[in-house]
Amino acid sequence: MLPKEIFGLEINPDLVYQVATVLMAKRRQVIAHAKDRSEVRGGGKKPWRQKGTGRARHGSSRSPIWKGGGVTFGPSKKRVFYRDINKKMKTKAAFMVLSAKAKDNLLVVLEDLSLEKPKTKLMVEVLKKLPVKGSILIILPGLKRELVRAARNIPKVETMEARNINALDLLSFKYLIMPKESIKTIKETFLK
């Protein structure tokens, strides 16, 4: 029933780990930032003349050795965590995770997934009927706004389009729910 080229792969933990770490690095945001002497406000004027005062020479009141000065080796926003990886590797890792989920009975394939109204209550009722407990990722064949709206307020439940799947998101959830149409979309997107 499930296509072997997507759901029948042997898992390679090293490849999945490599892809997952690259995807995490891409999402990482640099928040910690301390201003160095060039970024701190003020300090344009030389505090006192170079010679003749008997004091040490200084060029700026924003030097790191002064109070209110810059930080010497503080964290900087300029750090880049971005790493890249092969498209084929990304796809293969995603397929391996899908295969592992299918093998461990953590994948639920439905004939069709639709609601009469975009209501959270209706979505909760649908999920209660399914053999899933824990975090759930619903993989949709395309952008179905009513399903996204119905699921977005349920804790530990996320929706995603089939064309956007990746190993990290698939690993982040225990159960995967997808309509048959989603498998077709995955084939069309990744197997060209």
CATH topology of domain 86-190: Ribosomal Protein L4; Chain: A; (3.40.1370)
Point out which residues pair with 110 in neighbouring strands.
179
Question: Model's pTM, two decimal places?
Answer: 0.81
Write the pLDDT tens digit of every residue in 33-83. 999 999 999 999 999 999 999 999 999 999 999 999 999 999 999 888 888
Burial class for 94, CB neighbours closer than 10 Å (0-12, 13-18, 19+): buried
Structure tokens at 58: 């200084």
Q: Average model confidence (pLDDT) for the chain? A: 92
Tokens representing residue 98 in the block: 């899908």
Among the residues of 76-172, which ranges form H helices? 87-103, 120-129, 145-151, 167-171
- E strand or H helix at 13: helix 13-27
So where are the chain's domains?
86-190
The mean pLDDT of 159-172, rounded to a whole number, is: 93
Position 192 scores a pLDDT of: 74
Ramachandran assignment for 136, one of left (phi > 0), alpha (psi -120 to 50 degrees), beta (any other): beta
